[in-house]
Amino acid sequence: MNLTLRIWRQSGPDSAGRMTEYDVRDISPEMSFLEMLDTLNEELILRGEEPVAFDHDCREGICGACGMVINGEAHGPERTTTCQLHMRHFDDGDTIDIEPWRASAFPVVKDLVVDRTAFDRIIGSGGYITAPTGSAPEAHATPVPKPAADTAFEHAECIGCGACVAACPNGSAMLFTSAKVVHLNSLPQGAPERESRVLDMVGQMDDEGFGGCTNTGECATACPKGIPLFSITKMNREFVRAARKA
Amino acid sequence: MAYRVHTVVPMAVDTRTDRRPSSYAGILWHSTVGKKTAMAVSGIVMLLYLVAHMLGNLKIFFGAAEFDGYAHWLRTIGEPFLHHEWFLWIARVVLLAAVVVHAVAAYQLSRRDIAARPQKYVHKKPRASYATRTMRWGGIILGLFIVWHILDLTTLTVNPRAEAGHPYANVVATFSTWYGNVIYIVAMLALGLHIRHGFWSAAQTLGANRPGRDRTLKAIANLLALVLTLGFIAVPVSVMTGVVS
Ligand code: HEM
Ligand code: FES
């Protein structure tokens, strides 16, 4: 299939960017979206032009690196990561708009690459448990009730790709932060830091300049891992509880 | 937009305790989550008041004597424990506090939300429901309406009849003007949309929603929005059509 791509090109953090049009030919429907971009980049390199910069790593939907907004939707039309999005979801002759995540807390580094270290700092402020490292603990030493394990697993699926922030009209990181808070606060291992975790992670999230939640729900719709909107509800509950106890 | 380089990600050593406000109210007001909680609580206070207010307004259908009598009774609630009109003034203070908290939080959060997404996407896609998108504009309309409404029927400053102690006549006078009807009906439609999203949103914010309750909460939100809007609009429509005169 032949496609027209309109891609955000921006040479550096402080330079102005703009949408630039490219034609790509003979794209196979079996290709992933990133392979389609590889094809474009090979051609650009042959022509002596600057290839399009985009983030990627695992290409199997688990690292969360490959974020971009495709036709106005984070990771494109399917509920998956861009690396797992296949070209069969597009038609021959389509024009596809490709833009970077837009949020003031995620400044553009180059083209489609944004700086997502704000997420790392949110994790650093409380997204961990305090446990001695070394030899693995005995698995049955700390019993975990089945419902708690299920909740923790559901939320542990978050890969920190940032699609929630990109999709939110307020550039809010509530879904990401709540996935981490609910994951750890559901488990007995996370109990010692239950209050400080939610207070500190929400505090760091605010300090990074993410917007607040207006319960629009765009985040949960865009999430490739299906983190539910109720995750935010739960974090709100945890936050008010922790504030009362503090 | 400068590229911020952070080579070291501080882990457990970096506790934020030192930067945290120490009081319950302080923690809430200084975070986006807590400020939203204040909005939800103040919103629900106003919502409860509006349900009572709407039901009271419907007394207009029983005639001037009963409506004016009801208005007089409102001033005597709590007597003899409370002095004349004290209950009314307590309610006014609580409502004023709710409006101020709600509006200040809405303003501060909205500014922050807009700043967090300075650049729009080139490729637009249809977003969110109508009620969700109109919260900010709807809120501003409601704020302006509250001011007009008090000047019209409480202080009687802008009321065409302005007879203190005769609310029935004053209400009929307001809704005998075209602008009185337009302002009121537009505001009540805005109110319906605001409550439609607001009630469910408050349940989210307060952590009261659960997967099993979501549909019920949305249904209650729609019902409240519909009943309040229709209940309030019934009065101007009845004056316009001559049912109340
Ligand atoms: C001064 C006028 C008002 C302004 C400026 C205002 C503005 C807002 C804004 C901007 C929001 C947040 C919208 C969002 O999160 O998407 C909101 C939420 C809300 N409003 Fe208002 N509003 C006003 C009056 C009212 C009134 C009269 C009620 C009474 C029914 C009300 C009830 C609510 C509720 C229940 C929420 C949901 C809070 C939450 O999301 O947790 N508001 N308002
Ligand atoms: S490249 Fe790892 S999730 Fe897409």
Mutate to test the interface with B, among A120, A129, A213, A245 (most CBs of B within 10 A): A213
- Nearest atom, ligand 2, residue A56 CA: 1
Token pair 């940032």 is found at: A162
User: Domain ranges in chain B?
Assistant: 31-115+132-241
Integer angstrom CA distances of residue B79 from A234, B70, B154: 44, 15, 22
User: Domain ranges in chain A?
Assistant: 3-110, 116-131+139-245
Residue A230 contacts B, CB cutoff 8 Å: yes
Question: Two tokens at B100?
Answer: 């101020």
Nearest residue, CB atoms, B127 vs list A128, A218, A240: A218
Can you tell me the distance from the alpha carbon of B134 to that of B64, in angstroms, rounded to the nearest whole number?
37
Task: Tell how far the Cα of A82 is from the centroid of ligand 2, in angstroms.
Answer: 7
Task: Tell how far the Cα of A84 is from the centroid of ligand 2, in angstroms.
Answer: 8
- Nearest atom, ligand 1, residue B36 CA: 41
pTM equals: 0.92
Closest CA to A120 of A108, A129, A128, A131: A128
Task: Tell how far the Cα of B44 is from the centroid of ligand 1, in angstroms.
Answer: 9
CATH match for A3-110 among 3.40.50.970, 3.40.630.30, 2.40.110.10, 3.10.20.30 = 3.10.20.30
Q: Has domain A116-131+139-245 been given CATH number 1.10.730.10?
A: no
CB contact under 8 Å between A211 and B128, yes or no, is no
| ipTM of model | 0.93
Residue A221 contacts B, CB cutoff 8 Å: no
Can you tell me the distance from the alpha carbon of B190 to that of B187, in angstroms, rounded to the nearest whole number?
5
Q: What is the pLDDT of residue B240?
A: 95
- Kindly list the averaged pLDDT for each block of 10 residues, start to end, along chain B of length 245: 44 54 90 97 98 97 96 95 96 98 97 95 79 87 97 95 94 96 97 96 96 96 98 97 90
Q: What is the pLDDT of residues A202-245, one digit of tens each?
A: 999 999 999 999 999 999 999 999 999 999 999 999 999 999 99
Q: What is the pLDDT of residue B17?
A: 56
Task: Tell how far the Cα of B169 is from the centroid of ligand 2, in angstroms.
Answer: 69
pLDDT of A87 strictly over 60:
yes
The reply to whether domains A3-110 and A116-131+139-245 share a CATH topology is no
Nearest residue, CB atoms, B1 vs list A108, A232, A237: A108
Can you tell me the distance from the alpha carbon of B132 to that of B142, in angstroms, rounded to the nearest whole number?
15
Other Cβ atoms within 10 Å of B158 Cβ, number: 15
Q: What is the pLDDT of residues A155-190, one digit of tens each?
A: 999 999 999 999 999 999 999 999 999 999 999 999
pLDDT band at A131 (very low <50, low <70, confident <90, very high): confident
CB contact under 8 Å between B116 and A104, yes or no, is yes
Can you tell me the distance from the alpha carbon of A85 to that of A61, in angstroms, rounded to the nearest whole number?
9
Query: Residue A64 half-sphere exposure, CB side, CA atoms within 13 Å?
Result: 17
Contact pairs from chain A to chain B, CB under 8 Å: 178
Give me the amino acid identity at A98: I
Residue A75 contacts B, CB cutoff 8 Å: no
